[in-house]
Amino acid sequence: MEKQYVTLKVNGKEYEFPVGTRIGEIPDSETLSQTLRNRLELTGSKESCGEGACGCCTVIMDGDAVTSCMLLTVECEGKDIITIEGLADPITGELDPIQQAFIDYYSFQCGYCTPGIIMASKALLDKNPHPTQEELAEALSGNYCRCISHYTVMEALNSIAGNKEA
Amino acid sequence: MAEYRYIGKYTKRLEANDIVTGKATFLDDFKVPQMIFGKALRSPYPHARITFIDTTEAKKLKGVHAVITHKEMPKGWELGWPVHKKLMDEIVFFAGDLVAIVAADTVEIAEEAVDLIKVEYEELPAIFDAAVALAEGAPQIYERFKNNLVDPGVPHFQPDGPHWQVMYGDVEKGFAEAAFVAEDLVEFNKMPAPLAPEPPGAIVRWEGGPDYTIWATSQSPYILKLFNSPRIPGSNLRVKTFNVGGSYGNKQTLSVTVLCAALLAKTTNRPVKFFLTKCEQLMAHEVRLGSKIKAKIGMDKEGVVCAVEGDWMVDTGALADSVQGQVGVGLGEAQLVMAKCRNWNLDSHIAVTNKCPAGIVRGYGGQELNSCLALLMARTMRAGGFDPIECYKKNYVSPGDRYIWRDGRWWQSRVPTKFPEAMQKAADKFGWKDKWKGWGVPTSVNGSKARGIGAAVIGNADIGEDNTEAYVRLISDIKGKGSTVVVQCDITESGMGQRSNVAKMVAEVLNVPIEKVKVTEPDSMNNPTNFGLCGSRGTITSGKACSLAAADAKKKVFELGALHFGVSEEQLEMKDFMVYVRDNPEKKIPIKKLGPKDLNITGYGRHIEQFDIPSCMIFIVEVEVDIDTGFTKIIKITGGTDIGQIIDSRAVLMQLQGGIGSACVDTALFEECIYDPNTGRPLTTNLIDYKWRPFNEFPLYEAVIMESQVDSFMFKALGIGEISGAAGASAVMMAISNAIGVEVAEYPATPAVVLKALKKA
């Protein structure tokens, strides 16, 4: 049988993985979250609920925010993926404006859900640079946060979207 | 108020860059060489005897290192305080209890092995309610607990002996003097889950002999060590933590998880990672205590509570693990809210049941009892026609008032605070005067939408709990004239920003740039003792130990400087690692040049437990109830407190806003753990069935924070997070009752509950 591969472009780099059930190969059952976290050691996005409800594992795939725990890696052939590690400038370390705003407004507490929230926000702001407060909140409605950083997250995002204080 | 360089301002968190770039390490991001993975087979029955168990097929599976059932359990490895439960037993005590644990090369192999274990059960009668458990003739769940009653007292928290009741004064006389009395069986009993985003987990490596290294998702290495050392026979534990993905008091001892990993590690001689899934977290980790009380509250004609009587029944689920400490705090907080009352007869009984274990959750017993008693206090206020804000102001603990705290000892509030003023300021900000139309009267009605307001108050004297120590070391930089400050204090960051806060305090004392202050990684061996961030203790206890350690180091610098310049210590000043002679600025020397070459200057500071400073939080809320559908929406929340002194303006704001989460406010609307009444199995074991508030449903939140400079420690501050939402649920109940004109007293007030109250269902 011809050897199967799956190719992913992650944070601008191309990775070709062998598909199969032997050691080192990606089984059909492996999720994108597992591949990113365990094989590429991109551990920034978190796995919390494992069923697409909490948004902690959110990454951007071909421009859309997706929950990477709900996608099988073998189905992501050729996809262009950006993770939280891919936002800051790789050479200078300069932060993405969203990341900087999250620091300026202190928009996190424990930080477990933060990478997912930033990626979901990034996907929205890339498509719509000036969303309303309602559009922002709607875009984040799938992101669980239990420390309650919602208010300070909205402050940071409103500042980027150019919304006046609500 | 003092002029500060850092205190009171917003300072970027030490971990900020790591958190927003994904570089921050949490347990699940960390690996130990040779690590293998643990998984559990859990009981589908709430109470059953294992009549047959066969692990042959599981053990045969390639990649499996160990399968352990109750039959292979070594001696010791027992749970509870007092000890009452083996890690694994022939009997399972709740749906989710351990039947077998497996270690394998991968999670997938471990899961497959779990599926290959064959088990047969004989079901036993199960109990799902504390009142039923405590009733005469109820089946006994544990041998240790006759009538399912948990022994009062927990030695570590109650050094003088058990404390489980508040009895003083003359209750009969108190009720005789009362003008208004409310008496009822009230409950806050749905045992909701605080539900940290990061599940409980641990990696344990057995180092040989008694030594184990534990990396855990615990908010406190020391508490984990304190509780688990006796539970792992003959052990010496070293506990390390990373960033913790939320805890809300709920990830501390992690006993079951830690013991599973440790037993598998010892059996296989490999490091074992045991990390729960969200489903396991919701079915088998710890939830809020169940709380039910037949109580009677008397209030005099001035609106002051004059008698309190009741028997608090506490449901601790299938495990009693220091719940007695929470009961002690619950009883204490009741006294803070009704502090003028001198006639008490408040008893408690803790029961084990066949439900998911209850444990520590933000609010720590106080929230669970207050959510009940507040309903009755509201009835007395309603009967007397009192404005609740005025009533809370009159009844809340003030300097000189005495109360029995959770250690069983009498304490006297010694700190002049402006809590009544803070309550009033919050009410003013909220617009209480205009919105309050009287009891049972809506603020406004628009078609089917009725708005109502409510308020509740809670307090906490645990904010000075447990002893703590810290070192502050001034380390000379290799290059340049500067130094670096290392704060050695065992603080795990689970979101409060307290590692940064102690860095700010130390930078303030030493007058150095915050960037030059580092805090050691949390580790029970490399740091002196600290219980970590629980009970809102971080600000006063870690703050005091660290600021005193910095002051001690500063004193040593001045002693050396005085010798160097031939002046007195009082004539010296320091800034940015330079020592100056006051009014003579050309006389200066880098700290680095004082003292023996290459050696550190080290200061030591400590805090000794005290319970004489209570905090206070008022929670005011406006809701809108749709009287056709019964659906309630929160419109606005105002939280008010006197914090003494703000350490970090943004951090304290989020401590207040955080009161909306972790099974607080929404336990009045939709949060609950639901069990199938036929099978005794939990049904809310995922993030879809367990309800939580999403981003697009957050109400307006306003904070009113007074800073009256409390005499707590050098920086005059208090802790608040433990109780920032603790009065929220009862405030919502009051608001709903006022909106619809009928009292609603059932948590959570789902549409069905509201329609029932309106007699529409």
Is residue B398 within 8 A of residue B198, CB to CB? The reply is no
Q: Is residue B621 part of a domain?
A: yes
In chain A, which residues have their Cβ closer than 8 Å to the Cβ of B656?
A: none
Give the tens place of pLDDT for each residue, A153-163.
999 999 999 99
Query: Residue A166: is its pLDDT beyond 70?
Result: no
In three-state secondary structure terms, B737 is helix
Is residue B573 within 8 A of residue B579, CB to CB? The reply is yes
Is residue B255 within 8 A of residue B220, CB to CB? The reply is no
**Range A4-86 classified under CATH 3.10.20.30:** yes
CATH architecture of A97-161: Orthogonal Bundle (1.10)
Q: B155-193 b/e with 16+ CB inside 10 Å = b?
A: eebbeeeebbbbebbebeebbeebebbbbeebbbbbbbb
> Does any CB of chain B come closer than 8 Å to the CB of residue A108?
yes
In chain A, which residues have their Cβ closer than 8 Å to the Cβ of B192?
A: none
> Does any CB of chain A come closer than 8 Å to the CB of residue B278?
yes
Last residue in a domain, options B579, B607, B635: B607
Spacing of C-alpha B556 from chain mean position? 37
φ and ψ at residue B66, rounded to 5 degrees: -160, 145
Q: How far apart are CA A106 and CA B651, in angstroms?
A: 8
Lowest mean pLDDT among A21-25, A124-128, B379-383, B601-605: A21-25
ipTM: 0.98
> Does any CB of chain A come closer than 8 Å to the CB of residue B176?
no
B296 and B225, same structural domain? no
**Which amino acid does the sequence have at B95?**
A
Instruction: Write down the pLDDT at residue A1.
Output: 54
B341 and B225, same structural domain? no
Count of CB contacts below 8 A, A vs B?
Answer: 170
Q: Is residue B148 part of a domain?
A: no
The secondary structure of A27-77 as a DSSP string is PTT-BHHHIIIIIS---SS--SSSSSSS-TTEEEETTEEEEGGGSBGGG-T
B108 and B204, same structural domain? yes
Query: Residues 655-684, chain B: which have Cβ within 8 Å of A?
Result: 657-662
What six digits make up the tokens of B231? 């539970």
Q: How far apart are CA B339 and CA B459, in angstroms?
A: 11
Last residue in a domain, options B607, B639, B657: B607
Q: How far apart are CA A72 and CA B372, in angstroms?
A: 48
B294 and B395, same structural domain? yes
Closest CA to B510 of B466, B450, B572: B572
What six digits make up the tokens of B320? 């009693």
**Total structural domains in chain B?**
3
In three-state secondary structure terms, B433 is helix
B521 and B615, same structural domain? no
B718 and B603, same structural domain? no
Is residue B466 within 8 A of residue B407, CB to CB? The reply is no
Q: Tell me which DSSP letter residue B675 carries.
A: B
Question: B542 is in which domain, residue-wise?
Answer: 16-25+466-607
The CATH number linked to B404 is 3.30.365.10
What six digits make up the tokens of B300? 């005099």
Instruction: Write down the pLDDT at residue A165.
Output: 64
Give the tens place of pLDDT for each residue, B190-201.
999 999 999 999
Contact B26 A152 (CB under 8 A): no
Instruction: Write down the pLDDT at residue B595.
Output: 87
Last residue in a domain, options B607, B639, B656: B607
Chain B nearest CA to A34, separation (Å): 11
Q: How far apart are CA B334 and CA B723, in angstroms?
A: 13
Instruction: Say what the pTM is.
Output: 0.97
Instruction: Write down the pLDDT at residue B568.
Output: 97
φ and ψ at residue B203, rounded to 5 degrees: -115, 125
Q: What is the domain partition of chain A in residue ranges?
A: 4-86, 97-161
Beta-carbon contacts of residue B522 (< 8 Å; ≥ 6 apart): B221, B240, B241, B242, B490, B491, B492, B493, B532
Measuring CA to CA, how many Å separate B332 from each of B254, B367, B406, B413, B655? Answer: 26, 11, 6, 12, 22
Q: Measured at the alpha carbon of residue B647, what is the angle toward residues B644 and B653, in degrees to the nearest 5?
A: 85
φ and ψ at residue B684, rounded to 5 degrees: -105, 60
Give every strand in the sheet of B344-351, ordered side by side. Answer: B166-168, B344-351, B305-315, B290-299, B180-188
B115 and B38, same structural domain? yes
Is residue B623 within 8 A of residue B669, CB to CB? The reply is no
B751 and B662, same structural domain? yes
B504 and B599, same structural domain? yes
Closest CA to B237 of B202, B275, B204, B274: B204
Instruction: Write down the pLDDT at residue B155.
Output: 85
B565 and B632, same structural domain? no
Contact A110 B24 (CB under 8 A): no
In chain A, which residues have their Cβ closer than 8 Å to the Cβ of B199?
A: 48
Q: Measured at the alpha carbon of residue B15, what is the angle toward residues A131 and B485, in degrees to the nearest 5?
A: 145
**CA-CA-CA-CA torsion sign (B407, B413, B417, B423):** positive
Query: Residues 561-600, chain B: which have Cβ within 8 Å of A?
Result: none
Query: Which residues on adjacent β-strands are paired with residue A34?
Result: none
Is residue B287 within 8 A of residue B361, CB to CB? The reply is yes
Q: Taking residues A68-84, report their average pLDDT.
A: 98
Q: Is residue B658 part of a domain?
A: yes
H-only helix segments in B627-716: 649-657
Q: Is residue B142 part of a domain?
A: no
Q: How far apart are CA B708 and CA B270, in angstroms?
A: 55
B432 and B300, same structural domain? yes
Q: Is residue B563 part of a domain?
A: yes
Is residue B730 within 8 A of residue B334, CB to CB? The reply is no
Most A CBs within 10 Å: which of B11, B30, B649, B695, as the mutation test of the A interface?
A: B695
Q: How far apart are CA B583 and CA B740, in angstroms?
A: 70
Ranges under pLDDT 70 in chain B: none
Give the tens place of pLDDT for each residue, B456-465.
999 999 999 9
In chain B, which residues have their Cβ closer than 8 Å to the Cβ of A99?
A: 20-21
- Give the other-Cβ count within 10 Å of B88's Cβ: 25
B256 and B354, same structural domain? no
- Give the other-Cβ count within 10 Å of A38's Cβ: 16
Instruction: Write down the pLDDT at residue B242.
Output: 98
Would you say the CATH fold of A97-161 matches that of A4-86?
no
- Give the other-Cβ count within 10 Å of B34's Cβ: 10
The residue to which tokens 């000043």 are assigned? B573
Q: How far apart are CA B189 and CA B313, in angstroms?
A: 10
Q: How far apart are CA B31 and CA B735, in angstroms?
A: 50
Q: Is residue B164 part of a domain?
A: no
